[in-house]
Structure 1
């Protein structure tokens, strides 16, 4: 009987801990750092932001060229381009509710592109 009670207690504790993480939200405004040559943010947060300045987006074309662009609330901009097949695939996985992280070199070529999509990222509003 004692073991059964301990097992029930463990199950309840595990269930409650899972519930406490449900619905987690993560907002990330557009961040641009021209010194470290990096920019990042949530596309949903950029869209929903109160300022009318910020943007964050990427595009690719059939010629095999991809570009990513960012502008933060203070008006600082950054962008980069790539023809790397893996980076193009990453750009093409981006959706309006994704988190985007980009690094680029002094020539404006993308050196790193990371896309993450999950329920915890702020979604795009109307």
Structure 2
């Protein structure tokens, strides 16, 4: 009985959180912090920016390595690489309308990669 109640509670919570994003739109320009060794942003927002400076992207190669790169509007850039299979899989889930958050260490190795894709993120324009 307790499990059923918990499952219903979880379903309601998930439904309400989905509803709270209905119609909302978030723009997130590229943010690079070389002190905390992190960068983030929406790929769509970076693509649509009028400054001509921002970029945010990742790539993978068949050898199992992944790479992520960012530059903010003021020209501060950062990048990292990984051979961690789970991080490479996360990079491969990235698409042009995703939000990306990355942390890296002092050697330039990615320590955290988070990809989120949803209708509330700014989509890439032409």
Q: What TM-score does the superposition give when structure 1 sets the normalisation length?
A: 0.84
Aligned to 2:103: 103
Aligned to 1:49: 49
Aligned CA distance change for structure 1 residues 19 and 84 (closer, same or farther; 3 Å): closer
Tell me the number of residue pairs that the alignment of Structure 1 and Structure 2 aligns.
109
Aligned to 1:10: none
Q: In the TM superposition, what is the alpha-carbon distance from 1:92 to its structure 2 partner? A: 0.1
Conservation of the 8 A alpha-carbon contact between 2:22 and 2:120: no
Aligned to 2:24: 24
Conservation of the 8 A alpha-carbon contact between 2:90 and 2:115: yes
Gaps of 5+ in 1: 1-17
Structure of larger gyration radius? 1
* RMSD, aligned α-carbons: 1.4
Aligned to 1:82: 82
Alignment of 1:107-126 (within 5 A): 107-126=107-126
Q: In the TM superposition, what is the alpha-carbon distance from 1:22 to its structure 2 partner? A: 2.9
